[in-house]
Chain A
């Protein structure tokens, strides 16, 4: 089955700096890669996703890149703010059947220092 690895496990940056979180996946059939943000006491919330037919996607300060050949994808957050502090999860899926099963990375705890 699919295996998603995520690095780093913790990341501390100064406010205004950029943060990059990287994930690799093992199943070349995977074709959908969402990123979730989890704040304390809340469930994971989707912040951005990318499909396999796209190499990069951007939404304001957040961008995701995908390299299908190398089987890795990354989350980039620019101009970080304290409210970006949270745990971030990458995931991969690509079930050819109807019902999506997400394979998650182990999470990155991002701390943005004011």
Chain B
């Protein structure tokens, strides 16, 4: 069964460093998303992406964050200058289409630890 994959599973970085989290969505999916979950808190929406551009983003997704689909298979989340509060589990998701009632398939997540 096709699945969303994410690398690395765990990333440790120093405050102020740049990190890139990588995702390979399901191959025929067209819509891509990033969510994050700070330990003990809810899963929060960060950004959605379609047709090579951001379609919606939350207030969390500030100028320190960017997303990119550098080729036909990868979808990346970049944090330019990490802060302690960026420590969280980051989930990538994809779906065949947008709109209501559309199932989003989630990857296993990348645990980001900022020291």
- Which residues of A approach B to under 8 Å, CB–CB? 4, 31-32, 34, 36, 41-46, 49, 51, 89, 93-95, 97-107
Contacts and interface: CB of A to CB of B under 8 A. Distances in A.
The A interface, classified by DSSP as helix, strand, loop or mixed, is loop
Contacts of B75: none
Nearest to B99: A98
B115 to A, nearest CB: 23
Choose among B4, B44, B102, B105 the residue with the greatest number of A CB atoms under 10 Å from its CB: B102
A11 B100 CA distance: 30
Contacts of B100: 31-32, 51, 93-95, 100
B103 to A, nearest CB: 5
B89 to A, nearest CB: 9
B31 A99 contact: yes
A111 B76 CA distance: 35
Interface residues of B, number: 29
B107 interface: yes
Interface in B56-115: 56, 58, 91, 93, 95, 98-109
Given A100-B95, A104-B42, A34 B31 contact: no
A44 B91 contact: yes
Given A34-B103, A41-B108, A44-B91, A100 B41 contact: no
A102 B45 contact: yes
Contact of B4 (A36, A43, A46, A105): A43
B55 interface: yes
Nearest to A100: B102
B4 to A, nearest CB: 7
B43 interface: yes
